[in-house]
């Protein structure tokens, strides 16, 4: 009788606690702590070192980023090189289109001095060089840049990953993305086991029909930060995809994206930790 009364009293007390606002707040806080944004260093830690260079990738690693992002194009002689712009004009001491220069010509350029004298002599890296230097240390988000200019680049990138046994998500953290949706479809057909993402920059990219189409082959929908809302994030998640937003350069942006529950931020400043806010 006494035992039954004690059990009933304990149950009543627990029920009362669960109904209390303070308990609900603590429970909510507990689940909130489980939410974590992954940090992707945009072209490496490009706020602190010249973009798309080994120096920028090393800085991203030192700052404990989850991934660094890089842009892949092809040289005149078919080598996979890391460069954002169609030309080398902005970020090197040379001139000309990436696809019109050989690997030897590209490697002879200074890709660091424009950012600061301490980076003088920094070279344009190849994709192979970046993968070999950082495999297993940090995730790598590979963007296929202007793939329409480089027929076959999807197969070349796939072959480069396969050669290093980096095409299995269980082995390495690799994601491939592009603004070119057809290119990402092609890559997905070649290596369906590698997660892929589409980069979006227009509201019409987020129509119900477009999101449904993306969900047939993509693991990520990565929108411009100006398009992100909690509603959009929920719609992406409801279709089984994740979302990383770009390009983040202020604390205010990161707080807003944190509130929208994005899965990752692509930022020039990977030392910002949204969990600390």
Active site residues: 42, 84
DSSP 69-91: EEEEEE-TTS-EEE-SSSBSTTT
Phi, psi of 234 (to 5 degrees): -60, -40
Nearest CA among 267, 177, 252 for reference residue 222: 177
Q: Quick one: residue 96, left, alpha or beta (phi over 0 = left, psi -120 to 50 = alpha)?
A: left
Determine the Cα–Cα distance for residues 61 and 137; give it in Å rounded to an integer.
8
Determine the Cα–Cα distance for residues 257 and 277; give it in Å rounded to an integer.
12
Residue in this structure with the two tokens 């990161």, named with its chain if needed: 254
Determine the Cα–Cα distance for residues 267 and 34; give it in Å rounded to an integer.
22
Contact 71, 86 (CB under 8 A): no
Q: Which residues contact 144 (CB under 8 A, 6 or more apart)?
A: 72, 153, 154, 157, 176, 177, 178, 180, 183, 184, 187
Maximum CA extent, the chain? 90
Residue 150: half-sphere exposure toward Cβ, Cα within 13 Å: 26
């Amino acid at each position: 009788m006494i035992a039954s009364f004690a059990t009933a009293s304990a149950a009543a007390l627990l029920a009362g606690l669960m109904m209390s606002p303070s308990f609900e707040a603590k429970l909510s806080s507990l689940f909130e702590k489980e939410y974590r944004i992954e940090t992707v260093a945009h072209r490496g830690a490009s706020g602190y070192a010249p973009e798309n260079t080994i120096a920028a990738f090393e800085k991203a690693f030192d700052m404990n980023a989850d991934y660094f992002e890089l842009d892949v194009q092809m040289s005149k002689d078919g080598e996979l090189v890391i460069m954002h712009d169609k030309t080398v004009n902005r970020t090197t001491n040379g001139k000309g289109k990436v696809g019109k220069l050989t690997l030897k010509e590209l490697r002879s350029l200074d890709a660091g001095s424009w950012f600061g004298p301490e980076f003088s002599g920094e070279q344009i890296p190849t994709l192979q060089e970046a993968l070999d230097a950082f495999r297993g240390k940090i995730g790598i988000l590979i963007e296929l840049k202007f793939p329409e200019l480089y027929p076959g680049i999807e197969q070349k990138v796939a072959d480069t990953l396969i050669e290093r046994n980096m095409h299995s998500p269980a082995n390495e953290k690799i994601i491939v993305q592009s603004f070119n949706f057809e290119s990402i479809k092609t890559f997905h057909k070649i290596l369906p086991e590698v997660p892929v993402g589409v980069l979006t920059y227009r509201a019409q990219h987020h129509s119900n029909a477009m999101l449904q189409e993306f969900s047939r082959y993509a693991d990520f929908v990565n929108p411009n930060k100006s398009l992100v809302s909690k509603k959009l994030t929920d719609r992406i998640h409801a279709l089984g995809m994740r979302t990383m937003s770009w390009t983040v350069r202020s604390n205010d942006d990161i707080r807003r994206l944190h509130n929208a529950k994005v899965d990752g931020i692509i930022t020039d400043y990977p030392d910002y930790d949204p969990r600390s806010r």
